[in-house]
Structure 1
């Protein structure tokens, strides 16, 4: 189940997002609206949810959240964007990575999950 998170996530939201993959959450983050969608099997699924919610594709980037060690990953097929000077699955721009990490951490860091 893909969940849109617009602020601090509840433990229930995190558990719902973890149902797809179990140990980590694939997500798409809108860096302009500061909203994320997480819980799909593909980053592209999360991206579509954000686009349907009003996000612009140029502002949406793929990332992962690993709750057991509270870390963020920045690798996704949706991040390959030659037009944005990002020719890799990994987000290349350090400032953009920091903005994405700040959003994810403010929403998810420290949220307890049921199976912990």
Structure 2
């Protein structure tokens, strides 16, 4: 997980530079006050894997949710 970039693409670059595979990089935003997750990002647009800015696959959304809650939940 990466955070703190001006845009999701900044975090994507850091992850890819650290040998994360492109198919494993997903963009989402998290609001620490409401604990709400927004699954929309330009980095999610992939013609062969995801045809929208929003993460469409429920299993991937759940994985993203679990990672965010594990690392950031309750802050």
TM-score grouping bracket, smaller chain normalisation: over 0.9
Count the aligned residue pairs: 75
Q: If the length of structure 2 is used for normalisation, what is the TM-score?
A: 0.95
Q: Secondary structure at the match of 1:38?
A: coil
* Structure 1 gap segments, 5+ residues each: 1-35, 112-116
Q: Hey, what does 1:76 align to over in structure 2?
A: 41
The structure in which a higher percent of residues are strand is: 1
Relative CO higher for 1 or 2, CA cutoff 8 Å, sep ≥ 6?
A: 1
List 4+ stretches of structure 1 deviating above 2 A.
Answer: none
RMSD: 0.7
The structure in which a higher percent of residues are helix is: 2
Offset, 1:95? 0.8
Q: If the length of structure 1 is used for normalisation, what is the TM-score?
A: 0.63
Which one has a bigger Cα radius of gyration? 1
* Structure 2 gap segments, 5+ residues each: none
